[in-house]
Amino acid sequence: MPPAVPHASPPPATARSLLALPLQLLALGGFWGAGALAARALRLPLPGGVVGMLLLLGALRLGLVRAGWLERGADWLFRHMLLFFIPAAVGAIQYPELLGGEGARALAVVAVSTVLVMAVTGATVEWLARRREEAP
Amino acid sequence: MIAAAWIAVTAALYAAARALHRRFPRPWLTPLLVVPGALAAVLLAARVPYPGYMRGGRLLVDLLGPATVAFALPLHRHAGLLRRHAAELCAGILAGCAVAVGSSFLLARALGLGRPLALSLAPRSITTPFAMQVAGDLGGVPALAAVFVILTAVVGLVVGQLLLRWLPLRSAVARGALFGMGAHAAGTAQAMELGRVEGAVAGVVMIVAGLGVLVATPLLRLAL
């Protein structure tokens, strides 16, 4: 949030605004750590990130945390989420056998099944949404 | 030191691929296809083993944790919209999960793939940590499941963008659900580019689908 003092746009890059992104990322990382600890302590079959998300959602709903405090960090993570998948995708080089016939068939399964899943999901939601719109 | 260098190389290639994809928005130019391809070529040419690369890469993967946490913000902001569309989304997720698990397993068996491979393919539409757990519980191979999840992400980004052109999906909720269900977190990242509502819906769908398949695992063990 910008300070309450009126200023000409764009606002100057203050030390505070430069620090906002790393601090917000650190705070989101803290919720992740807390989620991982809670999941282990309670033996939940859930990843730490999901438990951390539920903790943060609870804190937001209860008004303990304001969305504006974490907005920039969240937007940055969403914008670059594909980057975080790249190292895992490179991991395919560990399975050279997937370049053979079995791999080609597995790829065919993934491709056909993904088309079906996306089309069915999109069509189901769209159809129900339209029906509701048209209902009086 | 070398770990930091691999992060830098990955980030630089990603930045270049992202700029390229913005300039030429072709589905197959997605950074998730272009950058791992380029990196795989570099690693193989330089004879760098994957674990060597992952000493740095690990840190990038770890950012998926905070990214998952961050979904609390769009969930909170769009809580009203999500509640309004809860019925559609539940129906879409249920249909999507059934088609994802069923078609993956049956197609794999029909193409003559072995049972462990088919069971590793079954949870490929849900996000990695859930998919690895489900695959293990079903009798598949968790590491292979992780590979198939990533493969699904790459295919899903391409397929999703093509389907958006062909299917007359007017509602943002349907477009978001398509990406969240079909390509989990990578699909959600793509949905975020379409709009805030699409992104929020995709995030919810991804998480609920993951939880749903996880909870349904005992039933799947009987059925598959």
Residues B24 and B80 in one domain: no
User: Is A121 in Cβ contact with B93 (below 8 Å)?
Assistant: yes
User: Is residue B89 situated within a structural domain?
Assistant: yes
- Complex ipTM > 0.85: yes
Residues B79 and B183 in one domain: yes
User: Is B69 in Cβ contact with A53 (below 8 Å)?
Assistant: yes
- Which residues in chain A have Cβ-Cβ distances shorter than 8 Å to B69? 28-29, 31-32, 35, 49, 52-53, 56
Checking if the pLDDT of A3 tops 80, the result is no
Average pLDDT rounded to a whole number, residues B21-47 = 91
Q: Is residue B193 a contact partner of residue B88, using CB atoms and an 8 Å limit?
A: no
Q: Tell me the C-alpha distance between B48 and B6, whole Å.
A: 11
- Which residues span the domain enclosing B31? 1-48
The tally of domains found in chain B comes to 2
User: Is residue B56 situated within a structural domain?
Assistant: no
Best of B33, B71, B73 to mutate (most A CBs within 10 Å, chain A): B73
Checking if the pLDDT of A8 tops 70, the result is no
Average pLDDT rounded to a whole number, residues B41-48 = 93
Residues B32 and B81 in one domain: no
Residues B6 and B115 in one domain: no
Supply the pTM of this predicted model.
Answer: 0.85
Residues B6 and B42 in one domain: yes
User: Is residue B174 situated within a structural domain?
Assistant: yes
Q: Kindly identify which residue of chain A lies nearest to residue B42, measuring between CA atoms.
A: A90
Residues B72 and B38 in one domain: no
The confidence score (pLDDT) of residue A5 equals: 47
The confidence score (pLDDT) of residue B165 equals: 94
User: Is residue B55 situated within a structural domain?
Assistant: no
User: Is B32 in Cβ contact with A86 (below 8 Å)?
Assistant: yes
Residues B139 and B170 in one domain: yes
Centroid of chain to Cα B198: 15
Residues B38 and B114 in one domain: no
Residues B135 and B27 in one domain: no
pLDDT digits (tens, 9 = 90+) for A13-63: 666 778 899 999 999 999 999 999 999 999 988 888 889 999 999 999 999
Q: Is residue B17 a contact partner of residue B34, using CB atoms and an 8 Å limit?
A: yes
Residues B40 and B82 in one domain: no
